[in-house]
A = this chain, B = another copy of it.
């Protein structure tokens, strides 16, 4: 009598679903579980049938998106664009906002995997999530270094940082600050700061980077920005790493009696749709959201179909000319 999947499950002491997941290398599985199933298969000399395996390995046409929050002009535009392109490619979208909460990100990931998504696109900000490594799923990261196996799509952060710093220097600023998120967060966005430092040094100016964490609430950010103004009274130019923070810097400057751009020149980063409507006066580095979204979806679909993809794809940025320099 042929050995069945039920026999493997019984001997391994796991469910039939778990056995089929191990057979298809899908879903969240501990090393221990995989070993138990493999041991049982060996013991019973179980030969999985290829047709049966295909039946278990059904496509769900679901893709999970894990991003900090859609309550932000850049991520709102990015998620809307990803969702539209995935819809056009026949996928439905499960969404998780993981802002400020690495436990939530971990829970999302486990639930999305158990929900049998066909793939994930991730731009979340939390560190050290082991589950991504264990996921056995096609994953694409946007502006986030995950691990060496996961392809990253990013805007040309170095070019953006260079453009921003040169704009400030060419417009006459002499004491130029930069803001950045936590250094230990592995994101290509830090290249903006590297470019700022390189350009500053090339012009014999001293770079100063001030920490403003993306996940802080507005009040905390306002307090930290006020501290920065107190610590650096000579500041007459600043490259802020995202537009929401740039708006807060501008407001603080106005409240403290600075004229923008006469006393303080400001360059932001992101240039999302909403920001260009609500605050078109802000000079900023415009991320190529549509292109990033297109390449991310194309790369994910290629991965789902088992094709090789580049591990890093960098897309050029451009300058949005406002009135803040």
Contact = CB atoms under 8 A, between A and B. Distances in A.
Most chain B beta-carbon neighbours within 10 Å: one of A76, A93, A218 = A76
B277 A248 contact: yes
A279 interface: yes
A244 interface: yes
Contact of A71 (B76, B94, B247, B248): B76
Most chain B beta-carbon neighbours within 10 Å: one of A62, A81, A87, A115 = A87
Interface in A57-88: 62, 69-73, 76-77, 79-81, 83-84, 87
Nearest to A250: B278
Integer count of this chain's copies in the complex:
2
A275 B218 CA distance: 13
Contacts of A112: 92
B95 A115 contact: no
A15 interface: no
Contacts of A107: 87
Contacts of A73: 73, 76, 274, 278
A259 B297 CA distance: 45
Interface string A251-263: 1000000000000
B95 A277 contact: no
Contacts of A275: 278
A222 to B, nearest CB: 10
A111 interface: yes
Contact of A70 (B62, B70, B94, B111): B70
B277 A274 contact: no
Contacts of A277: 218, 244, 247-248
B92 A244 contact: no
A273 interface: yes
26 contacts: A69-B80, A70-B79, A70-B80, A71-B79, A71-B80, A71-B81, A71-B273, A71-B274, A72-B76, A73-B73, A73-B274, A73-B278, A80-B97, A83-B95, A84-B97, A87-B104, A87-B107, A92-B94, A93-B95, A94-B95, A218-B273, A243-B278, A274-B274, A274-B278, A275-B278, A279-B279
A178 B129 CA distance: 50
